[in-house]
């Protein structure tokens, strides 16, 4: 494995060095590949949640590596902040989904509370806000041996208050000043220290302050801790037309559009083709600068997607050539394997129209393309709700066995998703005639809608009791 060495002091006299995969290796994480599996219609329903978690965890791993880079950039005064527009509700739901299985594996109840009103879209640095909250939720689960972790979101006057509370070990009063220091890990006699580098809270505090926010902590040793992050999340004047996680894109309206993508990695070229071709785009994938320029002469491109770091002719040189040979107004999206794409801004070039960082997030890529080409996306039609054929209407109605019903409700009320899925599979095996009912129940589990599932099971129980 190739590696980059980044040295930084972090309040120490001697430089420290961390070895981690190079940005180009990070760009090969399975986020993009899992996208195809996640959207494969042949994927069993009961595996959808697991595949989604794999994708989100891959994105989380890339974010951790970028977080380490961020520390050195903050110290050097070179960290660039971005003003992204993103859907707050989807953003929060994805975070909670990512950590449910982790909490479940430790028999910890993960609770999520959000206000009735949240703005649809907000402005902030989405990647770094995600990193802040991931670090807090990960720590809360890691340091909680039993009980619960509660994630609460409040929003008022364009100020968001994120609270991560746990019933874990708590923090001693004399350790409160140390927890935000780099490489400081609190060791307790008789306890094995959880795995980690001691950088999570350091990164969290630095990023919170860089984004103009404030982080505080309250803790009682032996009882638990609560971390508060307050931050301005301004609402845009016009909501972004970004597809929600429940609206998968499967095409667009209007004539067929041509994309020329350039990347020296065959896997990345194939991925671009597999993402865009099924949506109706004509894709020409170039392996280097000269081939890209040749494609540009032969075909009328509507948009270019250009990797930056290439042997021979770089992406920057290609953009200059494209503007000179007649593509003055054709949108150009630079695809950067450098965390955050800061090198793009440092060069001061104005030949590109947008930036997408690797590992590529499919929703971000499609959003950029849609904005630049003013595309009207076509989404899948909502699946009609499963018709209930199990309502008690007569003596021949098939009932859910009472013991199974009681066990299901018990598992739902503690939020044990995996056990609920296994129980539903056992019911289907023993009672194939209940497949319509189990399909509807499973749809709630896949959305982690335990409240709705418990309500539905209660209705069924009342109907069967009569």
CATH level 3 topology of 249-378 = Rossmann fold (3.40.50)
Cα(123)–Cα(291) distance, rounded to whole angstroms? 38
> Cα dihedral angle (107, 92, 377, 285), rounded to 10 degrees?
-70
Q: pLDDT: is 164 or 64 the higher one?
A: 164
Q: Where in the chain is the domain with CATH 3.30.565.10?
A: 82-186+196-240
% residues pLDDT > 90 (the chain): 18
How far apart (Å, rounded) are the C-alpha atoms in residues 434 and 41? 23
User: Could you tell me which of 301, 288, 279 has the C-alpha nearest to residue 365?
Assistant: 279
Burial class (CB in 10 A: 0-12, 13-18, 19+), 243: middle
Domain 82-186+196-240, what fold?
Heat Shock Protein 90 (3.30.565)
pLDDT at 5 over 80: no
Q: Is the pLDDT at 37 greater than 70, yes or no? A: no
Distances in Å between the alpha carbon of 90 and those of 87, 118, 237, 302?
6, 11, 19, 30
Task: Indicate the pairing of strand 258-262 with strand 303-307.
Answer: parallel
What SS3 state is found at 284? Answer: strand
* Overall average pLDDT of the 400-421 stretch: 81
Give every CB contact of residue 180 below 8 A, 6+ residues apart in sequence.
201, 202, 204, 205
- Which phi-psi region, left, alpha or beta, contains residue 396 (left: φ > 0; alpha: ψ -120 to 50)? alpha
Residues of the chain with CATH 3.40.50.2300: 249-378
**Mean pLDDT, residues 10-14:** 36
Task: Please indicate whether residue 184 or residue 400 has the higher confidence score (pLDDT).
Answer: 400
Question: Average pLDDT of 27-53?
Answer: 56
- Within 115-158, strands assigned E span 121-124, 147-156
* Of 341 and 305, the one with more pLDDT: 305
Using the predicted structure, report yes or no on whether residue 373 has a pLDDT greater than 50.
Answer: yes
Check whether 395 has a pLDDT greater than 70.
no
Biggest CA pair distance of the chain: 81
- pLDDT at position 219, please? 86
**One-letter-per-residue 3-state SS of 14-52:** CCEEEEEECHHHHCCCCHHHHHHHHCCCCCCHHHHHHHH
pLDDT tens profile 93-144: 888 888 887 888 888 999 999 988 888 889 888 888 988 998 899 888 888 8
Rounded mean pLDDT of the chain? 75
CB 461 within 8 A of CB 455: no
Cross-strand pairs, 17? 7
Lowest mean per-residue pLDDT among 41-55, 222-236, 394-408 = 41-55
Q: What is the pLDDT of residues 341-362, one digit of tens each?
A: 444 444 445 578 888 877 677 7
User: What are the backbone angles phi and psi of residue 447, rounded to the nearest 5°?
Assistant: -95, 5
Q: Residue 259 has what pLDDT?
A: 94
Element housing 206 (H / E) = helix 200-210
Confidence at residue 160, expressed as pLDDT on a 0 to 100 scale? 92
Going from the C-alpha of 85 to that of each of 125, 229, 246, the distances in angstroms are 8, 20, 18
Instruction: Report the DSSP beta bridge partners of residue 150.
Output: 111, 165
The whole-model pTM stands at 0.47
Nearest Cα residue to 333 out of 321, 342, 344: 344
Rounded to whole angstroms, what are the CA distances from 335 to 54, 62, 80, 105, 367? 23, 16, 17, 37, 14
Q: What is the DSSP string of 259-281?
A: EEEE-S-HHHHHHHHHHHGGGT-
Category of 415 on φ-ψ map: left (φ > 0), alpha (ψ -120 to 50) or beta? left
What is the pLDDT at residue 394?
39
* pLDDT for 423: 87
**Integer Cα distance of 4 and 18 in angstroms:** 8
> How many CA within 13 A on the CB side of residue 316?
9
Closest CA to 200 of 80, 7, 100, 64: 64
Rounded average pLDDT over 401-408: 86
Per-residue pLDDT band for 229 (boundaries 50, 70, 90) equals very high
The C-alpha atoms of residue 449 and residue 466 are separated, in whole angstroms, by 26
């Amino acid at each position: 494995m190739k590696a980059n060495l980044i040295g930084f002091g972090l309040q120490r006299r001697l430089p420290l060095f961390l070895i981690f995969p190079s940005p180009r290796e990070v760009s090969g994480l399975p986020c993009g590949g899992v996208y195809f599996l996640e959207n494969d219609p042949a994927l069993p329903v009961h595996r959808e949640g697991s595949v989604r978690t794999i994708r989100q965890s891959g994105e989380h791993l890339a974010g951790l590596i970028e977080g380490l880079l961020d520390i050195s950039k903050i110290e050097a005064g070179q960290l660039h902040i971005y003003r992204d527009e993103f859907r707050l509700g989807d953003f929060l739901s994805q975070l909670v989904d990512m950590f449910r299985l982790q909490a479940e594996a430790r028999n910890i109840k993960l609770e999520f509370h959000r206000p009735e009103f949240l703005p649809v879209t907000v402005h902030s640095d989405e990647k770094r806000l995600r990193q802040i909250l991931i670090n807090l939720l990960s720590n809360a689960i890691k340091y909680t041996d039993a009980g619960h972790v509660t994630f609460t979101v409040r929003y008022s006057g364009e100020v968001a208050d994120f609270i991560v509370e746990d019933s874990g070990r708590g923090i001693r009063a004399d350790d409160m000043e140390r927890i935000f220091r780099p490489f400081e890990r609190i060791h307790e006699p008789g306890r094995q220290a959880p795995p980690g580098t001691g950088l999570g809270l350091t990164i969290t505090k630095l990023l919170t302050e860089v984004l103009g926010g404030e982080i505080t902590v309250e803790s009682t040793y032996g009882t638990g801790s609560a971390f508060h992050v307050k931050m301005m999340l301004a609402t845009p004047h016009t909501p972004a037309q970004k597809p929600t996680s429940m609206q998968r894109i499967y095409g667009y309206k209007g004539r067929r559009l041509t994309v020329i993508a350039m990347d020296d990695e065959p896997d990345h070229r194939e991925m671009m083709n597999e993402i865009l071709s099924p949506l109706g785009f004509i894709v020409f994938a170039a392996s280097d600068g000269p081939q890209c320029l040749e494609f540009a002469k032969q075909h009328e491109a509507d948009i270019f997607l250009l990797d930056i770091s290439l042997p021979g002719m770089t992406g920057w040189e290609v953009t200059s050539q494209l503007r000179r040979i007649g593509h003055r107004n054709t949108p150009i999206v630079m695809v950067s394997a450098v965390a955050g794409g800061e090198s793009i801004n440092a060069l001061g070039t104005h030949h590109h129209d947008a930036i997408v960082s690797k590992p590529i997030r499919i929703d971000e890529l499609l959003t950029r393309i849609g904005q630049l080409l003013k595309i009207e996306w076509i989404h899948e039609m909502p699946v009609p709700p499963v018709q209930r054929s199990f309502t008690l209407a007569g003596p021949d109605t098939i009932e859910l066995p009472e013991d199974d019903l009681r066990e299901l409700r018990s598992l739902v009320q503690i939020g044990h998703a995996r056990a609920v899925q296994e129980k539903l599979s056992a019911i289907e095996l023993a009672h194939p005639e209940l497949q319509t009912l189990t399909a509807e129940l499973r749809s709630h589990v896949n959305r982690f809608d335990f409240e709705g599932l418990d309500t539905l099971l209660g209705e069924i129980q009342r109907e069967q009791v009569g």
